[in-house]
Amino acid sequence: MSIKLLLVEDNEEDRQGFLQSVERFNHEKKTEISVVECKTLDDALGKIDRSFDGAVIDMKLGDKGGEGNEILKLVDEWNLRMPIVVLTGTPSEADYAYVHIDVQKKGEADNLVILEDFRQIHASGLTKVMGSRGLLEKSLSDVYKNNILNQKAAWKAYGVANSEKSEKALMRHVLNHLIQMVDLDEESCVAEEFYIYPPIGEALRTGSVVRVRTHCS
């Protein structure tokens, strides 16, 4: 199992401690976790891209503190779908507005537990399917090249007539193609894939999970 992590940490002792944990973890779990080190905010902003399977980021990378939020902001803007652990001595500085973030405090967190979490996430297929360079991106590219381009004249006409309606219809059309590309083998199905939680929107749809309120007299 090959996993590529980005480590953003300006403290030499903490950085070396994490790298030693990776070396130990690889030996014990027979994994191949590689780490790209960044010591400064600018270094991290220059190196982060779609090739990573996850990241460990410190918040305090300068005099002001909270510099790590600049990296989280970039991840959000670029839609880099990967698990991120904020490992910092100042957890209160982390911007919780960004999703897919686990905030842990230095001195309390266990590096081996963090690495095991990355390993389990990777083994689940989450980063392979949802990652910015994963199966979903490849499938979207295949649908675009093999199906949508052949129909572009029709979609251009729909767009001229009603751009918003055309955009929603095109999204449904693409999703239908993606569903057809998935192996619908019953033995590979799990319960979670059929339910939508939390609900999206107010309307009840197939797969929405609801709670019935009962009033006792």
**Which tops the pLDDT comparison, 42 or 199?**
42
**Digit-coded pLDDT (tens) for 126-148:** 787 777 666 777 888 788 888 88
**Digit-coded pLDDT (tens) for 188-198:** 788 888 777 77
Q: Is the pLDDT of residue 176 over 70?
A: yes
**Which tops the pLDDT comparison, 65 or 44?**
44
Whole-prediction pTM: 0.74
Angle between helices 12-29 and 111-124 (to 10 degrees): 50
User: Which has the closest alpha carbon to 103: 69, 63, 126, 127?
Assistant: 69
pLDDT of residue 134: 67
Q: Which residues contact 150 (CB under 8 A, 6 or more apart)?
A: none
Domain positions in the chain are 2-124, 135-194
Q: Write down the architecture of domain 2-124 according to CATH.
A: 3-Layer(aba) Sandwich (3.40)
**Digit-coded pLDDT (tens) for 196-206:** 777 777 887 77
